[in-house]
Amino acid sequence: MRIVFALGLCFLTSSIFAQTKKPAPKPVAGPGQQVYEQYCLSCHQVDGSGVPNLNPPLKQSEWVTGDKTRLINVILKGLQEPIEINGETFDNVMPAHDFLSDKEISDVLTFIRSSFGNKAEAVSAEDVKKVRAVK
């Protein structure tokens, strides 16, 4: 009986120990990634590389890392004009995503500006609010 108890205690402490040893979640897995996976991934792909001749890449794109207002407007109004990214031309339809909240848009843009090798500063919900107000 005592052995069973000791074994049980041993198992309990080792499982508690195993739990505390779990690695912390990756910092990139924030709310912006969730928005990306739900609304953008199907076209722009999991690694932001897009689809040749169809959906432009988000990595190494001036549209992503450059002017915030232009970028926010792509999400609010969509885009339908020939654009060139990394020497490749795209002319397809990006649907407007103005149904997303200011926070969702700022989260997803902050995510794509700091993922796929991109390193640009965050976009705030306040930034999105200002651009949305201009119409």
Q: Cβ(75)–Cβ(125) under 8 Å?
A: no
Looking at the Cβ atoms of 58 and 131, the one nearer to ligand HEC is 58
CB of 12 to ligand HEC, least distance (A): 46
Residues 108, 56: Cα–Cα separation, whole Å: 17
Residues 31, 23: Cα–Cα separation, whole Å: 19
CB of 105 to ligand HEC, least distance (A): 7
43 binds ligand HEC per the rule CB under 6 A: yes
Per-position DSSP letters for 19-58, written without gaps between them: HHTSPPPPTT-SHHHHHHHHHTHHHH-TTS--BTTTB--S
Looking at the Cβ atoms of 81 and 126, the one nearer to ligand HEC is 81
Q: Which residues within the stretch 44-83 sit at the binding site for ligand HEC (CB under 6 A)?
A: 44, 55-58, 61, 63-64, 71, 74-75, 79-81, 83
Looking at the Cβ atoms of 17 and 99, the one nearer to ligand HEC is 99
